[in-house]
Amino acid sequence: MKIIHTLRYAQTKRKYKKLLKDPISGQSNVFKKLIKSGRKTQFGKQNNFSSICTVRDFQSLVPIQTNETIAPYMRRVVLGEESVLWPGKPRYFACTSGTTGEIKYVPVTKESQANQLLGSMQLAHLYPLISQQKSLVHANCIALTGSCKTVSMNGFPIGRLSGLTRKLLPKRLFKGVVPVEETLDIPEHEEMMLQIAREAINAKDIRSMVGFPSWVVVMLQACQKVSGSECLHHIFPNLDTFYSSGTRYQPYLPAIEKMLGHKINVREFYCSSEAFFAVQDLKEDGMLLDTHNGVFFEFIPLSEFHTATPTCLSLQEVERDQAYVMLISTFSGLYRYCVGDIVRFVSINPYRIVVCGRTQHELNIMGEHIRSEHVELVMSQVAEKLNISVHEFTVAPSPICNDTKLFYHHWFIEIPDNEQVNLSILAEELDKALMSQCAFYQAFRSKGELSIPIVTRLRERSFCDYLTENKKQVDNQQKVPRVSNNREIANFLLGQMDSISQVTTLEEIYEAG
């Protein structure tokens, strides 16, 4: 086992040097393989891959792809047709609903499977290597992946990618991983979390955990319930590393550290059902883009995304602190595919990014253009300032017809039932922080066209109830949209409210202006 990890560390070290010193050559190699393989496919023949020699050729001949445009090709692949998007047939399909709520299927080929497996290996070894805590790889870990169960569709296995990846990785690497695969297949989510908690509490020397921060909060709540203890430090004294994905961890960190009873180190990674993209290597904000792992990247300036002919930039053309919509081309047969994420480069030497929103998710009543990045930063700042534990939150627009005749943002925040919070002060602090973060919002507030936000406090597990009610099956890979331009989630949450006293009153809104 030690020999295997020694080899993995050497491999990770070589790869890390490449990402730091020579990211562009990796993109060039990936691009050449994409075009060479794509020429053998029906998609490639329809889009003249035989005429593609340069990236500019690629961009001029191949239109940007979305779920809708790729769906006809996917149907043919599912029906068993060969070499539609990638030579041969895929090994299986990864299914996801993510934050969109819309189920989609992503083909996983032999070549694209390597991307996810190598990304997982890199995640497991890079931080221990850099931090000189190599014992982390050998220690027990809580991994909140999706279910490992698969179903068959026309002979193709279909399942959650994180669960499938766990199933495909060598079993010896999961010797100390909690929970066991069977636990992740428990259909009732609350019971599954309680069983994960039992296994975690019974395990010895848990030192790290992996998962979406919102579900880590739910898992730690389950540990509190099973153990009967509010503070979990005596149960997990050595749990000091959290590998976070899915959404920004900062708003959740105070709640996680309060339940654990101690500080933890956090490293983010960025992956989806389509591919593994980036991993945080340093303590500072930003994830190192993996340019040598089977994904070719393009970036559209956010300001041009909805134009007829947006500018598409290669990696070497991007600028620091600019927001871009990311396009990917992968060895699963996705070409110039829009994953729907908005990223911003915090460094271009080497290339490090943060995910700052979704193209489908923007709160925009008057033209304030509020994205996930804005509200996540604001929530983390205010939670720290007021010393409150945020378990989950979302922000919606005011109703079109409301008693105040004013427009406002409506924050729904899940806070532990035993914490005392002044909602009026919370609303004021969120308002001030958002004005400092977003010039558009500040302008509309100063002109009186937007009112101070309303804050609705939610009881614990309110968002779990929302997912349970609105998803066919809840698992650890689902997310609640951070912002939305409709009140679908808001109306459900209000319908579940037990008391009107948990909402800032209209009189308080009038007094605040």
How distant is the alpha carbon of residue 165 from its chain centre?
17
pLDDT at 505: 44
Q: Which of 208, 284, 289, 219 has the alpha carbon at shortest distance from 252?
A: 219
User: What's the CA gap between 396 and 183, in Å, rounded?
Assistant: 35
Q: How far is CA 442 from CA 251, 400, 447, 510, in A?
A: 22, 21, 9, 18
CA atoms in the 13 A half-sphere facing the CB of 461: 11
With a cut of 70, say whether residue 272 has pLDDT above it.
yes
User: What's the CA gap between 230 and 417, in Å, rounded?
Assistant: 12
Tokens of residue 488, six digits: 């679908």
pLDDT at 512: 41
Threshold 0.85, pTM exceeds? yes
The per-residue DSSP string of 82-119 comes to SSSSSSS--SEEEEE-TTT---EEEEE-HHHHHHHHHH
pLDDT digits (tens, 9 = 90+) for 51-80: 999 999 999 999 999 989 999 999 999 899
User: What's the CA gap between 475 and 191, in Å, rounded?
Assistant: 12
Q: Which of 282, 278, 275, 281 has the alpha carbon at shortest distance from 291?
A: 278
pLDDT digits (tens, 9 = 90+) for 188-233: 889 999 999 999 999 988 999 999 999 999 999 999 999 999 999 9
Tokens of residue 483, six digits: 């912002």
Tokens of residue 407, six digits: 């427009």
pLDDT digits (tens, 9 = 90+) for 384-441: 999 999 999 999 998 876 565 679 999 999 999 999 999 999 999 999 999 999 999 9
Average pLDDT over the chain, rounded to an integer: 88
Q: Which domains does the chain have, with CATH numbers?
A: 1-9+18-145+152-358 (3.40.50.12780), 362-511 (3.30.300)
pLDDT at 497: 80
The type of residue at 19 is L
Q: How far is CA 247 from CA 49, 243, 244, 279, 375, in A?
A: 36, 12, 8, 13, 12
pLDDT at 500: 38
> Residue 153: which H helix or E strand, with range?
strand 151-153
The per-residue b/e assignment along 239-272, b for 16 or more CB within 10 angstroms, e otherwise, is: bbbbbbbbbbbbbbbbbbebbbeeebebbbbbbb
Tokens of residue 203, six digits: 């395990």
Residues 6+ apart with CB under 8 A from 261: 231, 232, 233, 234
User: What's the CA gap between 459 and 505, in Å, rounded?
Assistant: 18
What percent of the chain lies above the pLDDT cut of 70? 90
| Pairing mode, strands 454-458 and 409-414 | parallel
User: What's the CA gap between 323 and 453, in Å, rounded?
Assistant: 26
CB 207 within 8 A of CB 124: no
SS3 145: coil
Within 10 A of 56 (CB to CB), how many other CB atoms are there? Answer: 11
User: What's the CA gap between 104 and 475, in Å, rounded?
Assistant: 16
With a cut of 90, say whether residue 82 has pLDDT above it.
yes
Tokens of residue 123, six digits: 């995640």
CB 327 within 8 A of CB 359: no
pLDDT at 506: 44
User: What's the CA gap between 36 and 52, in Å, rounded?
Assistant: 10
CB 318 within 8 A of CB 324: yes
Q: Which of 119, 107, 241 has the alpha carbon at shortest distance from 169?
A: 119
pLDDT digits (tens, 9 = 90+) for 175-197: 788 999 899 989 888 999 999 99
How distant is the alpha carbon of residue 75 from its chain centre?
26
| Pairing mode, strands 265-271 and 241-244 | parallel
The type of residue at 417 is D
pLDDT at 476: 73
Q: How far is CA 363 from CA 181, 357, 441, in A?
A: 39, 11, 11
pLDDT digits (tens, 9 = 90+) for 473-508: 677 778 898 999 999 999 999 988 854 344 444 444
SS3 466: helix
User: What's the CA gap between 436 and 443, in Å, rounded?
Assistant: 11
Residue 288 banded pLDDT, cuts 50, 70, 90: very high
User: What's the CA gap between 388 and 180, in Å, rounded?
Assistant: 33
